[in-house]
Amino acid sequence: MENMQDLDLNAIWAEYWPFILSGAMKVIGALLVLIIGLRIAGWLSGLVKKRTLNRPGVDQTLAGFFASLVRWFVTAAVIIATLQVFGVQATSFVAVLGALTLAIGLSLQGALGNIASGVMIMLFRPYKMGDFVEISGVSGTVNDINLFQTILSTVDNVKIIIPNTEAIDGVIKNYSGYDTRRCDITFGIDYDDDIDKAIGIIRSLAESDERVLKEPEPFVKLINLGDSSVDIQARLWCNAADLWNLKFYMTKAVKEEFDKQGISIPFPHRTLVQKEAH
């Protein structure tokens, strides 16, 4: 009886062993194709980015976008090749993919929209790598633009990922879009202080700073009579890269010079009137 069972097991093993071996070889082959293919995709992506950056007139934004395109196309080809290892022909795969296009399109409409938006960003160039922007209410430096998303780094080094559809559909503020910017600073002085003297101090400090452009000339005017102060605003044009340092310097320099010249910067105060009951 035991001999008969052993013969049955041996017969079954002999019958199915070729199929098991064939299946195992296909799995190993598919894994090899997938691993090697993905490595090639990464290598080609890096090569395209490097070669593109070496070309004159091509910035980092386009280089990263082209590299992303190459990576995704090669990855798709690797997946098709992996399926072919299992006997799925490319024509059959394309036919099935065509039949499922509507369902895939509906389920992945967000991802497809991000791809389309990424292409629009590349075409219209509202911002590029390294620009300081405000997108969807978030400000930061553009670190990466790919097919699906824009990645920002905030001033406190927080990574912000914004889908391209939100980036292209909303209001975009590109603070690096122009070479020059206007630095607006408002100073409040006491009502009893000499307005012309205060304006002269601010203008003198602005004109003596090399970062302040001569054209357009500095604007220093009285703009408002506030509840507690007379407000004077300086509008100074400078190179975009100098804006914050200029603003910090002028705020400090004007305060120190006001102190020397006896001009006070008032703080909000209230006068209380108490009436005695009769």
Contacts of 274 (CB under 8 A, 6+ apart): none
Q: Band the pLDDT of 239: cuts 50, 70, 90.
A: very high
Handedness of CA 159, 163, 164, 170 (dihedral sign): negative
Q: Can you give the pTM of this predicted structure? A: 0.59
In terms of DSSP bridges, do strands 159-163 and 172-174 run parallel, antiparallel, or are they unpaired?
unpaired
In the CATH scheme, what architecture does the domain 2-99 have? Answer: Orthogonal Bundle (1.10)
Query: Which percentage of the chain shows pLDDT scores above 70?
Result: 72
What is the separation of C-alpha 28 from the centre of its chain, rounded to a whole number of angstroms?
Answer: 40
Q: What does the pLDDT read at residue 277?
A: 64
Average pLDDT rounded to a whole number, residues 109-129: 76
Q: Indicate if the pLDDT at residue 10 is higher than 70.
A: no
pLDDT at 56: 61
Task: Please determine, for residue 110, whether its predicted confidence score (pLDDT) is greater than 70.
Answer: no
Check: CB of residue 161 under 8 Å from CB of residue 151.
Answer: yes
Choose among 79, 56, 81, 52: nearest CA to 68. Answer: 52
Please spell the DSSP secondary structure of 8-72, one letter per residue. HHHHHHHHHHHHHHHHHHHHHHHHHHHHHHHHHHHHHHHHHHHHHHTSTT--HHHHHHHHHHHHH
Name the residue ranges covered by the structural domains of the chain: 2-99, 127-174, 180-261
Sheet hosting strand 149-153, strand order edge to edge: 159-163, 149-153, 138-145, 132-135, 172-174
Span 241-276, pLDDT tens digits: 999 999 999 999 999 999 999 999 887 666 666 666
8 A C-beta contact, residue 140 and residue 132: yes
Task: Give the tens place of pLDDT for each residue, 154-213.
Answer: 999 999 999 988 888 888 999 999 999 999 999 999 999 999 999 999 999 999 999 999
**pLDDT at 133 exceeding the cut of 60:** yes
Give the pLDDT confidence score for residue 16 in this predicted structure: 60
Average pLDDT, the chain: 80
pLDDT above 90 as % of the chain: 40
Which pLDDT band holds residue 145 (cuts at 50, 70, 90)? confident
Q: What is the pLDDT of residue 111?
A: 63
Q: How confident is the model at residue 104 (pLDDT cuts 50, 70, 90)?
A: very low
Integer Cα distance of 70 and 108 in angstroms: 20
Round to whole Å and give the CA distance between 131 and 145.
12
- Per DSSP, helices labelled H in 87-229 are 90-99, 101-107, 109-124, 164-169, 195-208
**Strand arrangement, sheet containing 180-189:** 180-189, 230-239, 219-225
What are the backbone dihedrals phi and psi of residue 239, each rounded to the nearest 5 degrees, phi first? Answer: -65, 145
Domain 180-261, what architecture? Answer: 2-Layer Sandwich (3.30)
Determine the pLDDT at residue 261.
93
In this predicted structure, what is the pLDDT of residue 212? Answer: 96
CATH architecture of 127-174: Roll (2.30)
How much is the CA Rg of the chain, to the nearest whole Å? 34
Q: Is 137 helix (H, G, I), strand (E, B) or coil?
A: coil
Going by C-alpha positions, the residue among 220, 228, 226, 227 that lies closest to residue 196 is 220
